[in-house]
Amino acid sequence: MKAWLSYLLTQFSSHPLILVIIVTFLESVALLGLVLPGIVLMSTIGTLIGSGKLSLYTAWIASIITCSIGDYLSYYIGWKFKKWIYTIHIFKKNIVLFNKVKNVLNKYSMTTILFGKLIGPTRPLIPMMSGMVEIPIKKFMLPSLISCIIWPILYFMPGIFTGIIIQHPDYTKNFLSLWLLIPIILTIVFIICITWIVYKNQKIYNILKKIKQKIIKKIT
């Protein structure tokens, strides 16, 4: 694995955007993302951004697109090949973990998809398992898209700051470079707030629906 990573970084060091596309796609594909050191790879890309070798917004947009493609492919794999997936060794070995994720997905699908995709070990599993438990694609798309917007920039950030410091040792005089991150941070905060509001409203709607059902039962 280390040799493969070294080869990947060497081959595409002069074409960093290709590296972004490959890494973010593989990180999002079912099961493949489990064996990749996502934090290391994404931080490496972040270093290229911070040092000025790669455009921040170009890398971010490319990551959102490839992450979304990986998510939808994983969802399809889970939906189409779920019987076969249950027979895979890694699935059998971690059946307790998979059952827990499955139960949480059934109860809190939107929240689980959104936040589960921001965590390394569960990120490549959530879309696949969403397909396996047959969560409607319309219900899957919104939280998946939001997580694909937030995830890359969160994982880029450590590398971005490292790249800025390496490129500009006297970074206090080059503090304007950090202002590039302000729109991104504000976007992330905005998305999280909107997601929380939607989640709360969904919770309220479910409570009202239950009350309505109880009233109908009493009347009838």
Q: Which residues of 138-171 are buried (b: 16+ CB within 10 A; e: fewer)?
A: eebeebbbbbbbbbbbebbbebbbbbbbeebeee
Residue 27 confidence (pLDDT): 87
Residue 214 confidence (pLDDT): 55
Q: What is the residue whose two structure tokens read 């397909």?
A: 131
Residue 163 confidence (pLDDT): 78
Residue 194 confidence (pLDDT): 64
Q: Are 20 and 8 in contact (CB under 8 A)?
A: no
Instruction: Name the domain count of the chain.
Output: 1
Residue 205 confidence (pLDDT): 47
Cα(48)–Cα(68) distance, integer angstroms: 23
Mean pLDDT by 10 residues, the chain (220 residues): 54 75 88 75 85 86 94 92 82 76 79 79 83 88 88 85 71 50 65 63 52 53
Residue 215 confidence (pLDDT): 47
Domain of 111 in residue numbering reads as 2-219
Cα(132)–Cα(79) distance, integer angstroms: 5
Residue 61 confidence (pLDDT): 92
- Model-wide pTM > 0.75: no
